[in-house]
Structure 1
Amino acid sequence: MQRLAGFIQESRTWSRAVRGTDLLRRVACVLRQHFDIDAGMFIYKKRFLRNHFGQLDTSVRVYEPWGMTAPREQLEGLVHTSKWCIGSPSFECSGVWEPISELPHHWQRQFERSGLAYVGAWPVLDADRVPIGAMVFGRRNGPLIHDEDVLSICAEQVSLIVELIVQRRRAEDASRRDPLTGLLNRRGLMHFLPDVQADAKSSGAPIVVGMADVNSFKRINDQYGHARGDDVLLDIAGTLLEAIGQHGLAARIGGDEFVFLYSTPGATAERVRQEVIERFQAKPYDVCVGCVSWTEEMDWHMCLDAADSHLYARKGYTGLSRERV
């Protein structure tokens, strides 16, 4: 009863977790302290995390393993061959302790090497009660049957808090994105800017900062309607993402104004500008692009102002000659 009281007391803090990894770390700590669980891990399919490219990470990962001789990366490589993670993926958990002889042979070896004799798996569920993860635990000695009920309650509580975290992360992501194009907005740009800087610093690659807008965009809206204008903005967003690929980020910071960062070895402002412009050559609208290399002497606002100045300098000598839509 004392162990159960300690478990309940400490589990009350789980709802304070702001990230899934933080939650699972707290859960692992409580289970190690208050139950005779000698080893464990959490298997979970990501559902919500988008990077600055707008890509969703839906991979299945192993989190917070303890008491296992194999490192996390090795366990993660075997996860799709387990009896708990099946299909595309789907998760199947019995919620009871079983001898490790019930496991696939390579998983038997993993648990034997860690001196474990029994294993149990409890499901982590989403809001629709669909299993999206598993809490997998191992024990050296015979299982205590009443622990199965407590671990089921633990899994239910983890499932509820995971869902709260998911919804919070989705709201955070939506607040950083332009609702029309799905690109980052100003807030999202500033949030992910340090990631691009860190990647560039580790690789030694320069960062080129560019600005782009549509020539005569007001005329497009006035003559063809705002729906056509929205189509143009969506096409620009998709084209910029294609041009940048995995080498930077793109944002819509207002109206027809776009900002992008591009970082690869040997990149120069003029080369990047030409590559981006070429992507728009066959479009039924004109864009103007200005780029600068981000140097150590420039802070972010100085760099953005310089790119903006280059953009309007280009507008000055191109004369906005083509007006097609």
Structure 2
Amino acid sequence: MTEMLDRRAPPRPFFNKLLMPFLGAVTVAMCLSVIYLPAPIVDRMLRDDVHRKAQEWRLRVLDALESGSETFARATITRGDELWLSQVTTLSEIYCFKLIAAEGQIFWSTQAEDIGVVNEMPFFRRIVAAGNPYYQAEDRPVSEVDDHFLRSASSNRAELYEDETGKLMRIAEIHEPILQNGRVVGAIAFYTDLTELRAIFVDRLERIFIALSVVSLLMLVVTSTVIRRSGRMQLRVINQRAEQERQMMAEQMRLARNVRLLGELNEWLQSSRSLDELFKMVGRFMSHILPNSEGSVYVYSSSRDVLVGSASWNGGHHCDHIRAEDCWGLRRGRTYTFGSAEVDFPCSHSESQDDRPSFCFPVLAHGETVGLLHLKAKDSVPLEEFRASQRLAQMCAEQISLAIANVQMRDQLHDRSIRDPLTGLYNRRHLTETLRRQLEQAHREERPLSILSIDVDHFKRFNDTHGHDAGDMVLRAVASVFEQVCEGDETACRMGGEEFMLLLPDLGLPTAALRAEALRGAVERINVRYGEKSLPRITISVGVAVHPEDGTMPQQLMKAADDALYDAKGRGRNRVAVAGEDDPTQAEVAALHASPSPTPQEEAVA
């Protein structure tokens, strides 16, 4: 044995001499990469992200301004523009932005003291005025950052900046040029704070570089050690290391894939236009992100009394409706895990005979519960493997919650933009869009379409006699009748003042005239009380126009209905007139052929 040991190959001094310098050089290179690479990479990522968001906000600002790009040519904004612009900083990560005319003068800013100041920086004329965006990110002392940002920050954050006035903040400034007919008419300057976001990304990237550096160094050391071994020990160590590397690579690839899928999920969800579209995206992505889990998602109804089943994936199923008390996660206000404790209870919305482990994640947005994410382990999936996916599932729930809140907020804003605030009916803008769409469909399918133009008789006299509050009550009562009698695709709109219009698809002249007469009678039977007294009888005059006889374009059809309305008012009011009919009794004759009994909707109104 001693002879065998003595016969071992002598150490290779040349290899040993090269090994340590090589390891030292690699260590230095990795340390330098940890120190110098993360910040430029993150800055490039943030620059691209700020460019993209600035372009999105430029489009949103131009869409919101009443005159669009012409606002910059005139360098003036309306009161409505100012109200909308003042809300931008509260709805986004932008803490300051300015509207700049072509010559560099700031004509609106979140900082009032900037208004009227001329931007004389060289980059403005050289880059922005030439139609190119300009981006700059630099570190600034907290004391130099706009007070507006400190006021808009949370109290804890503001206290932090006050206590650390010597700290630097990473501020991104980007100027987006505004073009009109190929000519630069102005620019929008956005300012956002990247301090925390940059620090988070740099820290994460540094950790990744450190981890990779440590792993690489360990691999070099182990490899050098393995090379110096012989026989089966060398082969066994190499095989073990190869297996570890395979597992580590598989884990890294799995993590990278999950990060990529989460990023794609967030990007797609933020671009969804409706909840139906959003839940389709959720179903497709979740089947890839969590392949070992069956899942379903629920969202609160508008009345918040039940949760509506919206999507399922990987063989899961969802109920049409569940109540909050059916889920232990919603009742307890936190994530509920079934199947991990010695004693636990299944949720009512889950199958009682199914003892597979499951998660119930309350979906929270802005401190409010908006839905529920339910996950259940597939058959033969171990409990440990299923529980290991909890953190990833929680991140998915957070992404889904923010997307649901954003879509619901967009839906609410859109609904407000097409509704009359007094009566709750649709406004003129919505009627015009709907009428154009319905006319195209009626023309394409050769189907009739009728429109009723309605005016409350002597409404001005009514306002002068009983006051505007009573007049508002009358308008709401009349609007309630219109809303109740509309069915299916029928649309009731308030055009302004005491004028209304009803859009009745698939109704020809006889049926439309009968509906108009029934509607007139239903309004006449309204009894409105104001204070301790009943208001005088309410009557309406109605003009009826039909596609295609009275017009094929929206303005033609609306004018025909208005002309018929004026005809009805000229005949003494409280009556129905049909467009193009010279016989003043035409509508009355049509009404006589109608059933004398009111419809169920009219009975409900009466």
- Scaled to the shorter chain, the TM-score interval is 0.7 to 0.9
Q: TM-score scaled by structure 2?
A: 0.43
Deviation, 1:184, is 0.3
Deviations 1:42-73 (A, max 9, x none): 112232xxxxxxxx797643223222276xxx
Q: In the alignment, what sits opposite 2:89?
A: none
- Of 164, 175, 187, which residue of structure 1 is paired with 2:417? 175
- Of 316, 327, 346, which residue of structure 2 is paired with 1:84? 327
Residue 142 of structure 2 corresponds to residue 142 of structure 1: no
- Of 332, 339, 346, which residue of structure 2 is paired with 1:98? 339
Deviations 1:134-191 (A, max 9, x none): 1122322124323212212221232222112211111110000111111100122245
Q: Are residues 162 and 169 of structure 1, via their aligned partners in 2, closer, same or farther at CA, if it must alter by over 3 Å?
A: same
Residue 517 of structure 2 corresponds to residue 274 of structure 1: yes
Q: In the alignment, what sits opposite 1:67?
A: 314
Q: Is the 8 A contact 1:95 1:121 kept in 2?
A: yes
Q: In the alignment, what sits opposite 1:259?
A: 501
* Larger helix share, 1 or 2: 2
Distance in 2, Cα, partners of 1:135 & 1:160: 13
Identity percentage over the alignment?
23
Residue 568 of structure 2 corresponds to residue 314 of structure 1: yes
Distance in 2, Cα, partners of 1:19 & 1:270: 37
Distance in 2, Cα, partners of 1:21 & 1:91: 28
Deviation, 1:259, is 0.3
Letter in 2 for 1:187: R
Deviation, 1:221, is 2.7
Name the stretch that deviates more: 292-301 or 35-44: 292-301
Deviation, 1:255, is 1.5
For 1:224-243, list aligned pairs within 5 A. Answer: 224-243=466-485
Letter in 1 for 2:351: W
Distance in 2, Cα, partners of 1:35 & 1:281: 61
Distance in 2, Cα, partners of 1:189 & 1:98: 55
For 1:11-30, list aligned pairs within 5 A. Answer: 11-13=265-267, 14-30=269-285
Distance in 1, Cα, partners of 2:452 & 2:425: 15
Q: Is the 8 A contact 2:419 2:425 kept in 1?
A: yes
Distance in 2, Cα, partners of 1:91 & 1:205: 55
Q: Is the 8 A contact 2:456 2:541 kept in 1?
A: yes
Q: Are residues 2 and 106 of structure 1, via their aligned partners in 2, closer, same or farther at CA, if it must alter by over 3 Å?
A: closer
Q: Are residues 64 and 105 of structure 1, via their aligned partners in 2, closer, same or farther at CA, if it must alter by over 3 Å?
A: closer
Q: In the alignment, what sits opposite 2:242?
A: none
Structure 1, unaligned runs of 5 or more: 48-55
Q: In the alignment, what sits opposite 1:53?
A: none
SS of structure 2 residue aligned to 1:18: coil
SS of structure 2 residue aligned to 1:311: helix
Distance in 2, Cα, partners of 1:216 & 1:104: 59
Q: In the alignment, what sits opposite 1:290?
A: 543
Distance in 2, Cα, partners of 1:235 & 1:103: 45
Distance in 2, Cα, partners of 1:23 & 1:172: 17
For 1:121-140, list aligned pairs within 5 A. Answer: 121-129=360-368, 131-140=369-378
Deviations 1:83-119 (A, max 9, x none): 4389xx979774436389946698256x79xxxx443
Q: In the alignment, what sits opposite 1:188?
A: 430
Name the stretch that deviates more: 190-199 or 134-143: 190-199
Letter in 2 for 1:119: S
Q: Are residues 108 and 200 of structure 1, via their aligned partners in 2, closer, same or farther at CA, if it must alter by over 3 Å?
A: farther
Distance in 1, Cα, partners of 2:446 & 2:333: 45
Residue 298 of structure 2 corresponds to residue 43 of structure 1: yes
Deviations 1:273-307 (A, max 9, x none): 21011112245233111123333862333222221
Q: Is the 8 A contact 2:452 2:543 kept in 1?
A: yes
Q: Is the 8 A contact 1:83 1:92 kept in 2?
A: no
For 1:195-210, list aligned pairs within 5 A. Answer: 207-210=449-452
Name the stretch that deviates more: 211-220 or 238-247: 238-247
Distance in 2, Cα, partners of 1:223 & 1:260: 28
Q: Is the 8 A contact 1:91 1:132 kept in 2?
A: no
Q: Is the 8 A contact 1:208 1:293 kept in 2?
A: yes
SS of structure 1 residue aligned to 2:524: coil
Letter in 2 for 1:27: V
Q: Is the 8 A contact 1:39 1:138 kept in 2?
A: yes
Greater gyration radius? 2
Deviation, 1:81, is 11
SS of structure 2 residue aligned to 1:63: strand
Whose relative contact order is higher, 1 or 2, with alpha carbons under 8 Å and at least 6 apart? 1
SS of structure 2 residue aligned to 1:308: helix
Q: Is the 8 A contact 2:363 2:398 kept in 1?
A: yes
Q: Is the 8 A contact 2:520 2:539 kept in 1?
A: no
Q: TM-score scaled by structure 1?
A: 0.75
Q: Are residues 22 and 95 of structure 1, via their aligned partners in 2, closer, same or farther at CA, if it must alter by over 3 Å?
A: farther
Distance in 2, Cα, partners of 1:150 & 1:180: 47
Distance in 2, Cα, partners of 1:204 & 1:92: 55
Residue 244 of structure 2 corresponds to residue 4 of structure 1: no
Distance in 2, Cα, partners of 1:105 & 1:216: 57
Q: Are residues 250 and 104 of structure 1, via their aligned partners in 2, closer, same or farther at CA, if it must alter by over 3 Å?
A: closer
Deviation, 1:5, is 2.2
Distance in 2, Cα, partners of 1:82 & 1:319: 56
Letter in 1 for 2:292: I
Letter in 2 for 1:215: D
Distance in 1, Cα, partners of 2:563 & 2:323: 53
Q: Is the 8 A contact 1:93 1:134 kept in 2?
A: no
Q: Are residues 83 and 256 of structure 1, via their aligned partners in 2, closer, same or farther at CA, if it must alter by over 3 Å?
A: closer
Task: Compute the RMSD of aligned alpha carbons.
Answer: 3.9
Q: Is the 8 A contact 1:82 1:107 kept in 2?
A: no
Distance in 1, Cα, partners of 2:324 & 2:409: 30
SS of structure 1 residue aligned to 2:370: strand
Deviations 1:16-38 (A, max 9, x none): 22222333333333322233334
